[in-house]
Structure 1
Amino acid sequence: MTSGRSVSVLAHGVGGSTDLPVPLSFALIGAAWALTATFGIVALAWKTPRFGPDKPGRDLPRWVTRTVDSSFVRWGAGLTALLFAVWVVIAAVFGPDGSDNALPGVFYVLLWVGLVAVSVLTGPVWRVISPLRTVWRLLGLTRRETSDRPVVRTYPPSWGYWPAAFGLLAFVWLELASPDAGSMVAITSWLLAYTAAMALGAWVFGSRWFARADPFEVYSMAVSRLAPFRRSPVTGRIATVNPMNHLTTMPVRPGVLAVLAVLLGSTAFDSFSQSPAFRNFVDQRAASLPVLSQAWAASLLRTAGLVVFVVVVGVTFWAAARATGGVTAQRRRKLPGELAHSLIPIVVGYVFAHYLSYLVERGQETVVRLADPLGRGWHLFGLDRADVQYVLSQHPSVLWSIKVSCVVIGHIVAVVAAHDRALHLLPRRHQISGQVAMMLTMVGYTFMGLYLLFGG
């Protein structure tokens, strides 16, 4: 994450803008032109909506749905994930200290980044493998929800995804702004607080609390809207689907924009916080605040920066979504939420661009540590540190090409998604002019994203 802390061994990314196969300025200009050309093409040639949640997919054979829905598969996946969590707890409690412990890698790599990759490929997998949901089912508490008094209190609809947004903000704060992100005490304290919050909320509101408030479940659900599979609303079977149609099924609830702003803003801040200029600023200012220790003063400054990035993303998108004419005030208030799904491709693009080498290489290191959880020289499954392949770090030009492609493709998909949705929502005479602000905002995101990723 950030250097100078015990988690630095997990630092992601290699090199800088000098490793790019083309100059950074060329990458920025090319990305902006690609985005602008995409908008021009879809604006002129795309006059009627083409995507929607009611578009049919192609049903897979019935045995696929029966397999996915079978109790054996679902319980097997849930119990396997629970046993894995127990294995990680054993490693955390009895394993080596510091960077040799498997917990930081599981927490920051396999969970935070790996969850995106799996969800984009298969769907909202966390609701099946969540250890807390599995414990909830093992205790038979799901049966309580079918009784005469299913829950202590009904989950307030006005809360929407706001609890999950705050949970995600708490995670990225620990990762990017806390005094010691790699501390075993810090990570275990966060996990204990998360477990307590989820258990208490589920006891009061029932399992709906997991669907609305669990930061990992909402995170998995959001990025899974780009998965090529979904359940057919007509037949109930698992079907292959155009991800652009699947994207439009993102639920529009309070806090949905906040969730995506946290995900996008925190990734941008992660790049910015690694720049020498920001590091020097934090070090100098932290030393001049005698009221706090230098570590906590630096944390306070990083926290302020993180909040600024999240707020800027949320406010700029909110303003761009509302900057259109010809709609009623009621419709205008709904536009930010109804267009928020167009941020998902940008979020996924940035996650892969920012954490690709981190997932591939640090992920391998984490798996090797899990094969020796107690640090006693075990080689379970024949795994050894020599098996880790740093293939991406050894080919920086290839890595940066992939990173640029992820950012640009993510933005292009977002432009197409926003344009198609605007055709659904805006009156005909404002379908083009009403998108100009959103187009300019996404060009700005592209410039800033690439510059922070490579130029910082």
Structure 2
Amino acid sequence: MSTRRRAAVAAAVGLAGLTGRGLAHSGGLRGTAPESLAVPTWLFLATGGGVVGASFLLASFVTDRAFLTRIDGWRGPTVRVGRVGGVAGRLLGLVGLALVLITGLSAGSVTPTEPARNAATLIVWVGWWGAFVASTYLVGDTWPTVDPFRTVAELLPTLDRAYPDRLGAWPATAGVLGLVFLEVVTPMADDPRLLAVVVAGYGVVTVAGAVVFGSATWFGTADPLSRLAAVYGRVAPVARTGDGWTVRLPGTGATETDWVTGRDEVALVVAVVYATTYDGFVGTGLWQTVAETVVGAGLPPLVAYVGLLLVGFAAFLGGLWAAGRLARRTAATFLTPAALVRRVTPSLLAIAAGYHLAHTLGTTLALTPATLTVLAAPVSPPATVPTLVVPAWFGAVGIATVLAGHLLAVWVAHTVSYDLFPDRLQAVRSQYGITVVMVAYTMIALWIVTTPGGAPPYV
């Protein structure tokens, strides 16, 4: 691997989809995963799937409804964050955005063009996509305070037009998929100027949406990055309430019944799960073989990537709806498949969080010293920036985070089923379908994070 490619790989932890070509795909746990497994791959994956299946069996023995209610409803002390904290968060977001735009647009004339030495690339990938997004599910969702686009929008007058109900969360869903598609097919991670232009373009679009429909409506419904952070925040152990910030058990925020209200919200959650899967899959040898085959047969590479995005998303979404139909039969309930799917979908957020951490943690740790060094001197950083060497065994951490996310998802689904059904056997049987889906997701995620890969072909 060339020095330039290695630098690009290292810089790959970025703004939810506003990214580029090999960075996110060869970085993260992919760069630290073992080249081969000590046991056959099929046995390793079957073991991972078996862990999830076994966790369902163990959870099914927890039938004390009062105990489940106490666990799900437990809340710790509430802490108020004063006005100073809010102002500091907004200033941090605005300063970060300004640095991205200034250092990105001036790349090649004032600031370096190398991704690992340009503040725009490091802020977007390491600071936002790697560290900040992880904080939304490991700690709590502070994006509404830090979001610089929201801060700007709230300073502007609004037209307060009625947001079309039929759109719902579909713009956010399309945005999440569209951003990860840009991450895969464009060279923005290698080109700080292009990255800055895309960030600026995103800002114009989202601020315009907030001006037309109002900040609360736009950022709470249609803005992709805000919705991404908000759904991840459902997994977090700290939650914002009307009285301040309160502590809860991880994953319990996903069991609330008031936010997944339709197919659009279901699709949004699945898009969050699928985005990182798509991002990782395009760097595998299997996709390279498939892509070379279909492109060799005359299909344009861009069409191949669009097809993978849409077909894969449809498969993930279709599997969830199939689980809902199966749950209706096995639980012998009059609830519709749509109602069952809406209630069980939030459990998948724990899976998304575990896979995101596995996909980005290695690169985030490796590039943190470089990020701090460049931020100290964004115009003239040293010719060689420091990095941490991630040891080979670190690949096991990615495997552990994937499995932890799936185990938490099983527990959340178990809690939801007991909230839905009065009969214990009904509650257990209703989980058959979603458990199968979770086992499938587990095996796919484990295969991706343990498969040596590289940059996607043709891009």
**1:276 is matched with which residue?**
285
**1:294 is matched with which residue?**
none
**1:206 is matched with which residue?**
214
Residue 9 of structure 1 deviates from its aligned partner by 5.5
Secondary structure, aligned partner of 1:431: helix
* 2:202 equivalent to 1:194: yes
Q: Distance between the aligned counterparts of 1:231 and 1:416, measured in 2?
A: 23
Residue 453 and residue 387 in structure 1: after superposition, are their counterparts in 2 closer, same or farther (change >3 A)?
closer
* 2:170 equivalent to 1:153: no
CA contact (8 A) 1:19 1:396 kept: no
* 2:435 equivalent to 1:423: no
User: Which one of 108, 115, 132 corresponds to residue 149 of structure 2?
Assistant: 132
What per-residue deviation string (whole Å, max 9, x for no partner) do you get for residues 200-226 of structure 1? 211111012012122121111111122
Residue 172 of structure 1 deviates from its aligned partner by 0.2
Q: Distance between the aligned counterparts of 2:23 and 2:46, measured in 1?
A: 34
What per-residue deviation string (whole Å, max 9, x for no partner) do you get for residues 423-450 of structure 1? 1123525322222111111111111221
**2:237 is matched with which residue?**
228
Residue 23 and residue 350 in structure 1: after superposition, are their counterparts in 2 closer, same or farther (change >3 A)?
same
CA contact (8 A) 1:177 1:300 kept: no
CA contact (8 A) 2:233 2:239 kept: no
Q: Distance between the aligned counterparts of 1:107 and 1:386, measured in 2?
A: 17
CA contact (8 A) 1:272 1:278 kept: yes
User: Which one of 319, 330, 338 corresponds to residue 316 of structure 1?
Assistant: 319
Residue 186 of structure 1 deviates from its aligned partner by 4.3
Residue 19 of structure 1 deviates from its aligned partner by 5.0
* One-letter identity of the residue aligned with 1:319: A
Residue 365 and residue 280 in structure 1: after superposition, are their counterparts in 2 closer, same or farther (change >3 A)?
farther
Q: Distance between the aligned counterparts of 1:20 and 1:199, measured in 2?
A: 48
Secondary structure, aligned partner of 1:226: coil
1:342-353 alignment, distance < 5 Å: 342-353=347-358
- What TM-score, normalized by structure 2, do the two folds share? 0.82
What per-residue deviation string (whole Å, max 9, x for no partner) do you get for residues 276-318 of structure 1? 242244345446649xxxxxx3232122112222221111112
Q: How many residues align?
A: 420
Residue 267 of structure 1 deviates from its aligned partner by 1.8
CA contact (8 A) 2:282 2:288 kept: yes
Q: Which deviates further from its counterpart, 399-408 or 271-280? A: 271-280
Q: Distance between the aligned counterparts of 1:84 and 1:402, measured in 2?
A: 30
**1:435 is matched with which residue?**
431
Residue 86 of structure 1 deviates from its aligned partner by 0.7
Q: Which deviates further from its counterpart, 113-122 or 410-419? A: 113-122
CA contact (8 A) 2:99 2:119 kept: no
**1:29 is matched with which residue?**
46
Q: Distance between the aligned counterparts of 2:161 and 2:170, measured in 1?
A: 17
Q: Distance between the aligned counterparts of 2:218 and 2:167, measured in 1?
A: 10
- The sequence identity of aligned pairs, in percent, is 24
**2:22 is matched with which residue?**
8
Q: Distance between the aligned counterparts of 2:368 and 2:311, measured in 1?
A: 30
Secondary structure, aligned partner of 2:246: strand
User: Which one of 123, 129, 139 corresponds to residue 140 of structure 2?
Assistant: 123
User: Which one of 78, 85, 91 corresponds to residue 79 of structure 1?
Assistant: 91
Q: Which runs of 5+ in 2 are unaligned?
A: 9-19, 453-459
Secondary structure, aligned partner of 2:450: helix
* 2:178 equivalent to 1:170: yes
Q: Distance between the aligned counterparts of 2:150 and 2:307, measured in 1?
A: 34
What per-residue deviation string (whole Å, max 9, x for no partner) do you get for residues 363-384 of structure 1? 443343333323x346xxxxx8
Q: CA RMSD in A?
A: 2.9
User: Which one of 65, 83, 105 corresponds to residue 48 of structure 1?
Assistant: 65
Q: Distance between the aligned counterparts of 1:91 and 1:253, measured in 2?
A: 42
Q: Distance between the aligned counterparts of 1:441 and 1:52, measured in 2?
A: 27
What per-residue deviation string (whole Å, max 9, x for no partner) do you get for residues 403-425 of structure 1? 11111111111111111101112
Residue 54 of structure 1 deviates from its aligned partner by 7.8
CA contact (8 A) 1:59 1:240 kept: yes
Secondary structure, aligned partner of 1:230: strand
- What TM-score, normalized by structure 1, do the two folds share? 0.83
What per-residue deviation string (whole Å, max 9, x for no partner) do you get for residues 138-165 of structure 1? 44x4xx6xxxxxx432223443322211
**2:387 is matched with which residue?**
388
* One-letter identity of the residue aligned with 1:355: T
Residue 389 and residue 16 in structure 1: after superposition, are their counterparts in 2 closer, same or farther (change >3 A)?
closer
What per-residue deviation string (whole Å, max 9, x for no partner) do you get for residues 168-205 of structure 1? 11210111234665344543343233222212211111
Q: Which runs of 5+ in 1 are unaligned?
A: 145-150, 291-296, 379-383
CA contact (8 A) 2:373 2:381 kept: no
Residue 299 and residue 366 in structure 1: after superposition, are their counterparts in 2 closer, same or farther (change >3 A)?
farther
* One-letter identity of the residue aligned with 1:347: A
CA contact (8 A) 2:172 2:223 kept: yes
* One-letter identity of the residue aligned with 2:210: A
Residue 238 and residue 53 in structure 1: after superposition, are their counterparts in 2 closer, same or farther (change >3 A)?
farther
**1:249 is matched with which residue?**
256
Residue 117 and residue 16 in structure 1: after superposition, are their counterparts in 2 closer, same or farther (change >3 A)?
closer
* One-letter identity of the residue aligned with 1:388: T
